[in-house]
Amino acid sequence: MKKILFIILCIFTFVLKASAQENLAPNSKSAILLETSTGKIIYENNSHEKLAPASMTKIMSMLLIMETIDNNKLSFEDDVLISQNAADMGGSQVFLEAGETYKVKDLLKGIAIASGNDAVVAMAEKVGGTVENFVKMMNDKAAELGLKDTVFKNPHGLDTEGHYSSAYDMAMMAKELLKHEKILEYTSIYEDYLKKPDGSSTWLVNTNRLVRFYDGVDGLKTGFTSSAKYCVTTTAKKSNMRLLSVVMGVETSDLRSKDTTNLLNYGFNTYKLEMIMKKSKVLGNVKIEKGKIDNVDLVLTSDATLLKKINDKDTDYFVNLKVDKIKAPVKVKDVVGKAEIMDNDGKLIMEKDVTVVKNIEKANYFDYFKKNLKVITTGI
């Protein structure tokens, strides 16, 4: 009898937990919550349903802009001439006029804070040459990221037939955007001013109220159209843990904020992030073939972290390094091997990419001469 009661209690507890999970974002057609460093999904509901993303589309637009800047093909200080096409954009605007010139950093502020459709079209023309080419870049990037629920028809998110994404795909785009940490300097601003060439200013107010009213929120992008309803991709950091949530298809902005708050509260109150190994920790020193130097230290390409329930104990571990021969030239961030992080029982916790701590050029004839001369003169 006791055994039967125990089984019933377990089933009841499981049902309660399942119900709590299902109700984390009750006002949203689709939702997802994940931790960014591990990529672990904490909660999802209909996360692959294809829906209109509205201005969350600008997450991909900002990703392409930031990639172009980080690849040194564009600067925050570069000038952008506003076209008639950009100035004529409807929906949310920062009121740009054709013939005006703005810095990239100012237009990025107009996109990130006020969701300016005119600003994002101007940047699409700057980065892609034409809006059409920029949209192709958006879809190519989505394919590169392995996103299968997304097709873009424009860079701004106004309702267009065949323009759709999903909560899962938006989360993956946002996770990629967060690798460019400087974007948070823009998305975390609640209010600011865009100075116009004639000396006047346009007041910019963040459409995501949680930036101001939820501790730790510093981005990313809201959206609304009659088709999409209210949606938002949100990121927040507390202590060493960053969460990322997406809610889509919500009837009001208040309910959008409520569902997002529920998701973030659940994540922060239930989980912790354990730092297994910093990417700066030297794992070993290996020989470099045909390099200007003979040996180099190895490190992880990124921190090794583990998402755990708050009351779980920390993990004891050891590292099994798997590196083949390394030949010059080789650069920092080039993957040269793997680090198997194991627990004390020999169970694999995770596998991380390994790279070198500095760039190493290929040796030339003069380098070989110096090495041979050193051997002759020192015996080393």
pLDDT in tens, 18-60: 344 568 999 999 999 999 999 999 999 999 999 999 999 999 9
The predicted-structure confidence for 61-72, as pLDDT tens digits, reads as follows 999 999 999 999
Say whether pLDDT at 12 is over 60. no
pLDDT digits (tens, 9 = 90+) for 306-340: 999 999 988 889 999 999 889 999 999 999 999 99
Can you give the pLDDT at residue 49? Answer: 98
What pLDDT does residue 379 have?
A: 61
Catalytic residue among 58, 141, 175, 352: 58
Task: Read off the pLDDT of each residue in 365-375 and give the average, rounded to a whole number.
Answer: 64
Backbone angles phi, psi at 201, to 5 degrees: -135, 150
- Among the listed residues 37, 55, 61, 188, the single catalytic one is 55
For the chain, what is the radius of gyration of the CA atoms?
25
For 107, how many CA atoms within 13 A lie in the half-sphere containing its CB? 33
Residue 345 has pLDDT above 70, yes or no: yes
Q: What is the reported pLDDT for 16? A: 42
At residue 280 the predicted structure's pLDDT band, cuts being 50, 70 and 90, is very high
pLDDT of residue 23: 84
374 has a pLDDT exceeding 90: no
Whether the pLDDT of residue 369 is over 70: the answer is: no
pLDDT at 10 exceeding the cut of 50: no
Catalytic annotation on 115?
yes
55 in active site: yes
Say if residue 14's pLDDT is above 50. Answer: no
Please report the pLDDT score of residue 377 as a whole number: 67
- pLDDT for 145 equals 98
Q: What percent of the chain has pLDDT over 90?
A: 84
pLDDT band at 5 (very low <50, low <70, confident <90, very high): very low
Averaged confidence pLDDT in the chain: 91
Average pLDDT estimate for 97-122: 97
State the average pLDDT over residues 112-129. Answer: 97
Q: What is the pLDDT of residues 251-269, one digit of tens each?
A: 999 999 999 999 999 999 9
Residue type present at position 369: F
pLDDT in tens, 155-190: 999 999 999 999 999 999 999 999 999 999 999 999
- Confidence at 372, pLDDT banded by 50, 70, 90: low
- With 50 as the cut, is the pLDDT of residue 2 above it? no
- Greater confidence (160 vs 373) lies with 160
User: Which of 37, 47, 115, 245 is the catalytic position?
Assistant: 115
pLDDT on residue 375: 61
